[in-house]
Amino acid sequence: DADVTQTPRNRITKTGKRIMLECSQTKGHDRMYWYRQDPGLGLRLIYYSFDVKDINKGEISDGYSVSRQAQAKFSLSLESAIPNQTALYFCATSDPGHGGGNIQYFGAGTRLSVL
């Protein structure tokens, strides 16, 4: 969905380096998420934010931090990258909408390799 933009699309870095993955959206959604995808493990939630002042840890937050700079921007940082953080990272947004539910709209993903 072109309304959720992730940068960079690909990144190669070295062990110990600090890197930031960025996500911006034009959908006007309050809720934003960062997921990690590994083969055979599905989509695992790293952090999520329900508004600018609300940040929550997901199931695999260790080694990661986030910043919600504005409603439209949600960044994921790896303070000191390690090889097992090599994965495909997705940002997503949602708006609970009418009647509940939580349709999530994903960015195109960032493929990160830590050497």
Partner 1 sequence: GENVEQHPSTLSVQEGDSAVIKCTYSDSASNYFPWYKQELGKRPQLIIDIRSNVGEKKDQRIAVTLNKTAKHFSLHITETQPEDSAVYFCADTGRGSNYKLTFGKGTLLTVNP
Query: Which C-beta is closer to partner 1: that of 20 or that of 43?
Result: 43
Does position 99 interact with partner 1 (CB under 8 A)? The reply is yes
For partner 1, the binding residue among 8, 17, 41, 51 (CB under 8 A) is 41
Is residue 52 involved in binding partner 1 (CB under 8 A)? no
Per CB under 8 A, the list member of 20, 67, 106, 113 interacting with partner 1 is 106
Phi, psi of 85 (to 5 degrees): -95, 5
- Which CB atom, from 56 or from 69, has the smaller least distance to partner 1? 56
The Cα 2–Cα 108 span in angstroms is 8
Inter-CA distances, 62 with 5, 26, 72, 85, Å: 24, 29, 24, 11
Torsion of CA 100, 24, 44, 95, to 10 degrees: 0
Contact residues for partner 1 (CB under 8 A)? 1, 40-45, 48, 50, 59, 90, 94, 96, 99-104, 106-109
